[in-house]
Structure 1
């Protein structure tokens, strides 16, 4: 069960923010839900149009006329009464018109306003869309853009689930008409510069929300979309949930790098480097790499040391970068992990520390640790079987500085013991997390 709320999922602080919602699949519902959850004083609005029936969700409703002193006084009075108000233009038919984007920019500058939430385009109730030339209308001072998509975009025919399918088809650059969208199609539309990223201000954060995710199959698909979205540097994180459910946030996906520690000499194995021993049709390291590549981690890195050139060859075949630890002979495992952490991109929020001599740990087991991290269960996560803690372990960025400060000769487990009250143990269905290849006998017992 996720520990995330809408506020923590979107990393919203108690400071001024303007949040713009684009796309389809529940933008208005998310706007009102987040508006109700935020602290302080909030103005909700639209720069396009909003259905009059949806306006009934507002605690206070104000019809704006641009730049009038009376209008600004009405907003202030509404915020004094209820802390929140919806501001729209005039009603035309079944919809109310939006306000000019510069008006929203002005509201953010008011001392009595903490948050401005803006629905910045329309989708005619479809789960996914491609923007027309005149949209989205995102105010210049927007600090967070939330592209919204409903997971039900995968369920129906392309023309039925997509708003402006002809534009979406042009962005995807192949004919989808008559077919269903794939996971890859959805991700590509969200990160396309003329799709979900169109009109995003340069300094705004971008956090997509995959909505209506309720079943296990939908969660699997949403995870696949999130994994692809995080390949785009502009995406800060991806929120998965169902905004109308009791727990609107299921998971928050951020970038996790797998660091495979393959620098050791493995002296107890005799003359051969244990990570290079045969393992079925590959090597011990080759199988470990294959297992890691089967998980949902964002990136992979192998730390070399002893027999570095041979290890690099294994990495090259797998398409994984290597980093050499020149201190491997005396620095033990800690120095290898510290070497890797020092070079990680700032967008990486956690490392999955994988031992090269654990080819028995399957991808599904590692994904259990990632799922716990996505659900906000902790920043120190380890597997456990029969009451014993095993490997690999996940370490969040908040502990990186402390990890780098550990003295030579120490070990990463010191960090886990020091913060035992913060360590989240994931019960796994296999004892593979407790086993490694520390002796010739163990290798002969474990090898396929």
Structure 2
């Protein structure tokens, strides 16, 4: 997986990188990835070392916006261009561009439908930083902000060797300088309004990059931080990576929602199957608990026929009930109703059926794990070559999923999007549609 894909960087976007632990390396890698398919402008609002001129194919010095006149023609010949200010006095570094030049770069980027990558603060080569009062310098038009942390600092002391401005970090975290840095400290700093969230425009997405995950221990630390960040409303996702490696991305953690489809009238069965008791619980509860066990959040239950009875059966469960008044028009209407309630803050959704009682949390967890590893548009269970449910839908499929009509779910998307398979046990193939199925289910109780 490319780093640009893991961070979901779209074309014609502005991405600002803050923090420490590999910002420049990440920017350079993304520039190389995206320059194969479009044009990329790189710049900085802080100082850059002269050796970082190699981040792009070409380099231009812009003291004012007037110096950008040749940039469009340069981008026609070179897929990536670094734009900086002049050489800093007494230092082998380029000065960052000023606000007016940054605005002009934004306008040029909009015209060429390219990508503008901005290094928005410095860290003096450290792996963690706490920003000063004047940092970071993130423009108001940034679409995405990527706070960066180097995981190699976990287990190290909070001092100047590992942390840029350790005294400020200590104050923000309520620590003493010299104390050992733990995963929970990194989470707290990233999620602090005067730390990782400082200076980020309200409309910008935030996706964290945990870099230097080069050992099994650092990867486990990354997962611990990523799971904590799932509880932070401002964070959309966390990428665990080792940016300097050939395959940089290891996992992407984002919120995965669950939608339980429980609106049908069960005509073939002759009674509401979502309310049938099996092993002491209604079938809809089995679906809900499979999602809860896999930590899907939020979990939405779409109701229609027998809606009040389903609502009553789940009254003590922490789920969101969504009523589908158009349930009789087919399954797709329930899919749309459920998706509409979760799509704004979810990176993926698992569509759970209320008539497959052998679907367990372990299977849902396997779907999520594969999605974290691949960000595949679809993650589909399979038994001996036969596909089955539940299916995980990445957010890249949401528009197509909302366009489905009639009495069908997302099956048609299997022909439109790439997918990865998760092999599973044949017991999950059981679903309840007919009186004969009901008798078989009772035998298995």
Coarse TM-score class (shorter-chain normalised): 0.7 to 0.9
1:241 aligns with 2:241: yes
For 1:369 and 1:11, locate their aligned partners in 2 and report how far apart those are by CA, in whole Å. Answer: 20
State how 1:58-77 maps to structure 2 within 5 Å: 59-60=57-58, 66-67=63-64, 72=68
Q: After TM superposition, give the deviation of residue 192 of structure 1 in Å.
A: 2.8
Q: After TM superposition, give the deviation of residue 353 of structure 1 in Å.
A: 0.8
Q: List alignment gaps of at least 5 residues for structure 1.
A: none
Partner of 2:151: 151
For 2:313 and 2:4, locate their aligned partners in 1 and report how far apart those are by CA, in whole Å. Answer: 43
Q: After TM superposition, give the deviation of residue 93 of structure 1 in Å.
A: 4.4
Partner of 1:411: 408
Partner of 2:293: 294
Partner of 2:302: 303
Give the TM-score, by structure 1 length: 0.79
Q: After TM superposition, give the deviation of residue 321 of structure 1 in Å.
A: 1.4
Q: After TM superposition, give the deviation of residue 22 of structure 1 in Å.
A: 0.3
Using a 3 Å threshold, how does the CA distance of structure 1 residues 203 and 374 change in structure 2: closer, same or farther? Answer: same
Q: Does the CA-based 8 Å contact 2:59-2:81 persist in structure 1? A: no
Give the TM-score, by structure 2 length: 0.79
Q: After TM superposition, give the deviation of residue 30 of structure 1 in Å.
A: 1.0
Using a 3 Å threshold, how does the CA distance of structure 1 residues 123 and 303 change in structure 2: closer, same or farther? Answer: same
Report the 3-state secondary structure (helix = DSSP H, G, I; strand = E; otherwise coil) of the residue aligned with 1:337: helix
Using a 3 Å threshold, how does the CA distance of structure 1 residues 269 and 144 change in structure 2: closer, same or farther? Answer: closer
For 1:321 and 1:9, locate their aligned partners in 2 and report how far apart those are by CA, in whole Å. Answer: 29
Report the 3-state secondary structure (helix = DSSP H, G, I; strand = E; otherwise coil) of the residue aligned with 1:200: coil
Partner of 1:180: 181
Using a 3 Å threshold, how does the CA distance of structure 1 residues 421 and 151 change in structure 2: closer, same or farther? Answer: same
State how 1:322-361 maps to structure 2 within 5 Å: 322-326=321-325, 330=328, 333-348=331-346, 350-361=348-359
Partner of 1:380: 378
For 1:77 and 1:401, locate their aligned partners in 2 and report how far apart those are by CA, in whole Å. Answer: 36
Q: After TM superposition, give the deviation of residue 324 of structure 1 in Å.
A: 2.9
* Equivalent residue in structure 1 for 2:42, among 41, 44, 50: 44
Q: Does the CA-based 8 Å contact 1:157-1:178 persist in structure 2? A: yes
For 2:418 and 2:65, locate their aligned partners in 1 and report how far apart those are by CA, in whole Å. Answer: 55
Using a 3 Å threshold, how does the CA distance of structure 1 residues 340 and 72 change in structure 2: closer, same or farther? Answer: closer
Using a 3 Å threshold, how does the CA distance of structure 1 residues 80 and 325 change in structure 2: closer, same or farther? Answer: closer
For 1:42 and 1:289, locate their aligned partners in 2 and report how far apart those are by CA, in whole Å. Answer: 45
Report the 3-state secondary structure (helix = DSSP H, G, I; strand = E; otherwise coil) of the residue aligned with 1:292: helix
For 2:46 and 2:320, locate their aligned partners in 1 and report how far apart those are by CA, in whole Å. Answer: 46
State how 1:249-328 maps to structure 2 within 5 Å: 249-264=249-264, 275=275, 277=277, 279=279, 284-295=283-294, 297-305=296-304, 308-309=307-308, 311-313=310-312, 315-326=314-325
Report the 3-state secondary structure (helix = DSSP H, G, I; strand = E; otherwise coil) of the residue aligned with 1:48: coil
Report the 3-state secondary structure (helix = DSSP H, G, I; strand = E; otherwise coil) of the residue aligned with 1:209: strand
Farther-moved stretch of structure 1 (264-273 vs 377-386): 264-273
Partner of 1:367: 365
State how 1:155-166 maps to structure 2 within 5 Å: 155-159=155-159, 161-166=162-167
Deviations, residues 93-122 of structure 1 (Å, cap 9, x unaligned):
465543434332233334897444322212
Deviations, residues 358-392 of structure 1 (Å, cap 9, x unaligned):
34333332233234444556433320011121111
State how 1:71-90 maps to structure 2 within 5 Å: 72=68, 82=78, 83-85=80-82, 87-88=84-85, 89-90=87-88
Partner of 1:427: 422
For 1:418 and 1:81, locate their aligned partners in 2 and report how far apart those are by CA, in whole Å. Answer: 39
Partner of 1:136: 136
Using a 3 Å threshold, how does the CA distance of structure 1 residues 151 and 290 change in structure 2: closer, same or farther? Answer: farther
For 1:28 and 1:318, locate their aligned partners in 2 and report how far apart those are by CA, in whole Å. Answer: 46
CA RMSD of aligned residues (A): 3.9
Q: Does the CA-based 8 Å contact 1:383-1:391 persist in structure 2? A: yes
Q: Does the CA-based 8 Å contact 2:239-2:251 persist in structure 1? A: yes
1:33 aligns with 2:29: yes
Using a 3 Å threshold, how does the CA distance of structure 1 residues 303 and 213 change in structure 2: closer, same or farther? Answer: same
Q: After TM superposition, give the deviation of residue 304 of structure 1 in Å.
A: 3.1
Q: After TM superposition, give the deviation of residue 198 of structure 1 in Å.
A: 1.3
Q: Does the CA-based 8 Å contact 1:227-1:296 persist in structure 2? A: no
Q: After TM superposition, give the deviation of residue 319 of structure 1 in Å.
A: 1.4
Using a 3 Å threshold, how does the CA distance of structure 1 residues 173 and 442 change in structure 2: closer, same or farther? Answer: farther
1:6 aligns with 2:3: yes
For 1:132 and 1:188, locate their aligned partners in 2 and report how far apart those are by CA, in whole Å. Answer: 17
Partner of 2:121: 121
Q: Does the CA-based 8 Å contact 2:261-2:352 persist in structure 1? A: yes
For 2:48 and 2:373, locate their aligned partners in 1 and report how far apart those are by CA, in whole Å. Answer: 33
Report the 3-state secondary structure (helix = DSSP H, G, I; strand = E; otherwise coil) of the residue aligned with 1:137: coil
Q: After TM superposition, give the deviation of residue 32 of structure 1 in Å.
A: 1.7
Partner of 1:20: 16
Report the 3-state secondary structure (helix = DSSP H, G, I; strand = E; otherwise coil) of the residue aligned with 1:208: strand
For 2:340 and 2:70, locate their aligned partners in 1 and report how far apart those are by CA, in whole Å. Answer: 53
